[in-house]
Amino acid sequence: MKHAESVTFGGSALDRAAHLRADVAPLMGAATSRTIVLWRGKPLVDGAARDRLVRLPLDHPALAEARGAPFFLGLEEAGACFATDLSAWEPGAFDKAALEGFFDPSEQQHPELLAGQVFCELRGVMTRLDARDAELAATARALMLWHRSHRFCARCGSESTLAMAGWQRNCPSCAAAHFPRTDPVVIMLITHGNSVLMGRSPGWPEGMYSLLAGFVEPGETLEAAVRREVFEEAGVRVGEVSYLASQPWAFPASLMFGCRGAALGREITIDPKEIEDALWVSREEIMAAFAGDHPLLKPARKGAIAHFLLRNWLADRLV
């Protein structure tokens, strides 16, 4: 589709320099190398608009509390870029329940950092970051969450060790090598005439609806996953399916495949175990929701691929 790679986290042509991952010691010692920093999934940002990542020298005092070695993300114009997990640091007070909820609006300030340099929820700042900072933040977050949940070997159960500058874990007991996991997810723009199929999950903010989505199962094509998920969640049969765009989604580690599908009918029968509600929404209603004028409907979060697909559908830019 037109503008497919302009989706948030769509990439910035970062040179990931995978051939350097086996030995990054020279890069870590270089004066030009820098690291971005995350605290429990939140990137360290700066600026009144919270619109840019902070890049710190690798010997910055704040990094003394880092958890493990930094991950090598790639080469930027100014030098090597790493990512450091500062999750071991404990702020004086923070709302742990909010941190683990749908969206945490709080900010954390480390005492060794400058005023205005704060840790922010990535969902809240993702549309403010430029393409490079968005790619770095999403990559670092996905890697850190994978390491946190994959400490032990899936083959023998022994604790594994970090390798290849964060892009691998090795098991010292059975010699198995493990690599960062990405889960494929289809998200579907299902249309019938002038309307699009929208749904909501339990626990979402009131009025928030989005496109239907679901994980791709083993042995399944994207087209088959689209048809299965839409029928399972809403009872709607889908005919022709086409691919539109993709988006890395580090919440926690998915690759969203945006697809378009033509519904064969409009009758909806939801599975309450899958979704809370589903409905057909006209193009005019989507436009009103985007403008903030719809009395009930709130659009998908700006920056998410659902919002991107709907906006391009309204602008007739899908082909």
Alpha helices in 105-249 (DSSP H): 122-125, 131-149, 222-234
Which residues does 115 contact at the CB level (< 8 Å), separation at least 6? 109
Strand intervals (E) in 145-274? 161-163, 168-170, 177-178, 183-192, 195-200, 212-215, 238-249, 254-263
Q: What amino acid is encoded at 94 in this protein?
A: F
Three-class SS state of 38 = strand
What burial letters (b/e) apply to 77-107, b meaning 16+ CB within 10 Å?
eeebbbbbbbbebeeeebeeeeeeeeebeee
The superfamily in CATH containing domain 183-314 is Nucleoside Triphosphate Pyrophosphohydrolase (3.90.79.10)
CATH 3.90.79.10 in the chain, residue ranges? 183-314
Task: Please provide residue 281's backbone torsions phi and psi, each rounded to the nearest 5 degrees.
Answer: -125, 130
Q: For residues 229 and 237, what is the distance between their CA atoms, to the nearest angstrom?
A: 10
Q: What amino acid is encoded at 54 in this protein?
A: V
Sign, CA torsion 202/205/208/211 = negative
The tens digit of pLDDT for each residue in 215-243 reads 999 999 999 999 999 999 999 999 999 99
The count of other CB atoms within 10 Å of the CB of residue 265 is: 11
CA nearest neighbour of 275 among 186, 190, 211: 211
Q: Give the H or E element holding residue 280.
A: strand 277-282
pLDDT < 50: residue spans in the chain: none
Which residues does 82 contact at the CB level (< 8 Å), separation at least 6? 24, 27, 28, 33, 34, 35, 36, 58, 70, 71, 72, 73
Residue 175, token pair as written in the block: 């010699």
The count of other CB atoms within 10 Å of the CB of residue 166 is: 25
pTM value is 0.93
Q: Which residues pair with 17 in a beta bridge?
A: none
